[in-house]
Every structure is written in C-alpha cells, then in structure tokens.
Amino acid sequence: MEYLSRGDLLDIMLTNGPFPISATRFLAAELICGLQFLHSRGIIHRDIKPDNILLDSTGHLKIADFGLAVMNIFGDTNISGWAGTRLYMAPEILQNKPYNTAVDWFSAGLVIYVMATGKHPFYRGKIGRALKAIINDDPVFPNEMDPQLKAIINGLLDKSAESRQKFVENIRDHPFFMEINWTDIEEATACPSFQLTPPPVMMTSDTMKDVLCFTEANNTPIAETGQNLFCGFTFANEGWKVIESIPKPIISNRRPVKPHRRTFGTIVKDAFHRIWRRIKPWK
C-alpha cells in the first residue's frame, strides 16, 4: 500500500480539533464516493471509523482496513454477523438483525458528525449507554451547526436501514454539496481548500529510507520468478525477497539427559547446607 503521510483521520482530528465546514464537506464527499464505489462492487466495509480513514500528502481521503469486509452483496441481499467497532456500529448490527450496505452509511454519518464537532453523538462516558442510545435515541446537534450539514447527518443516522438507503440515493444532489464537483472528486483532481496539520510522526532516518523506497513507483520490477507472489499488486519493490523456509531442526541420536532424581539423602543434605549457611555468620 502506498505511504499516506498525513496518517489516519482520528489522529488528525486530535491534532486539529473539529474541522471547518469546508474540510468536513470535502472529506464527506470523498467518503461518500468511496462507499458508493465499494457498494457498487458488492463490498460492505463494516468497520468505517476515523481510524480506518487515511489521508495522503495532498489531503485526499482513502478508506483502509478491509479485514471485516464482505463481498458479493448486491441488491436486497442481507447478511448477518456481529462485526465492526461498537461505537460506530449501525443499530441493526447491535440488535443482531440482518443488514446490508446501509450499515456503512450509518457509520459514515457518525464519522461526519465527529469531524464537524469533535465529539461522538451518542457517547457520554459509558459504552453501554452509548450503544443503547445508538439504537433508541436521536443525535443531539450543537446549535451553531450548519442546517444543511445537520440534515445530511440526520439522514445517514436514520434508525431505519430502508430510509437510510433511500436518502443516500440522492445524496449528491443535497444542498450541502452544492459546491462539490463530483467528477473532480471521483478523479481526485479537486484540490482541498483547507489545510489540516498532520499529526507528529517520529521516524528514524532508516525508517524514512524504507518508506521512501517502498513508495517509489519507478523502481525496477522484481524478477519474473517472484512475480507470482505479488499477483494483483500495482507495485512491488524488488527489495522484497522470498522468505526462505525455516530449516528443519537437527535430530540428534543421543538420548536426552534425564533430570537428576532427588533422594531422601540429597534432600537432607541440601537442608543441612541451607541451615549451615545461615548460622555460620553468627560465629
């Protein structure tokens, strides 16, 4: 995977605090494009959260960590199973109900709310209460929040998965995204009109050298004999070598040495020496 120098969204939020509305709008639009791309190919991510959203050096968003994703889910197909991060789960997952791509949209609504406010809409110090609030309560919005942004978040955090899906069908036409050129967003040619300070990163010179080495797309390809190991990757550094198999341990013909068996005599002898070492300094 390419090196994304700005790190994950969680660390960026901790460094910058709540995002300005321009940054929230831009990143929300890129997140929407990313999810629509995945869902059009039958992929449900199931773990959308700030930790799994990364930013590159120019401020473009990339969805990462597909360890919990499921594939080939199209149309009205539903699946089941507890998966995700509890504070970013949709109500239907928390209630162990069948679900579809709508769970990603609920998580996206939570992420957008956190970007705009720096707080989770349902968390008040205890996870148990937060999970009940996700299922039963409506989010509380700051008075100063932009009404159009509030409408976007409300639509994504709808408790009904069906209503959530209907809302997303026309989300690109929402007034909140009036300034967004969706073609530029999809092609990553839109320039962010904001500057977010990346989190501090401590790297040694050797680490930076490795990082730069792994991200140079113009390096010589690896040998043909190793190509099959990296089938499907857009880039593989020739410095990555095949890991040699671990040699088998040498089996010796010698019999293992049995541990010394303690007898009554050795026990008495050891006890005498312990007592003698204690009384000897008194002389």
Catalytic center residues: 47
SS3 of the chain: the string is: CCCCCCCEHHHHHHHHCCCCHHHHHHHHHHHHHHHHHHHHCCCECCCCCHHHEEECCCCCEEECCCCCCECCCCCCCCECCCCCCHHHCCHHHHCCCCECCHHHHHHHHHHHHHHHHCCCCCCCCCHHHHHHHHHHCCCCCCCCCCHHHHHHHHHHCCCCHHHHHHHHHCHHHCHHHCCCCHHHHHCCCCCCCCCCCCCCCCCCHHHHHHHHHHCCCCCCCCCHHHHHHHCCCCCCCCCCCCCCCCCCCCCCCCCCCCCCCCCHHHHHHHHHHHHHHHHHHHC
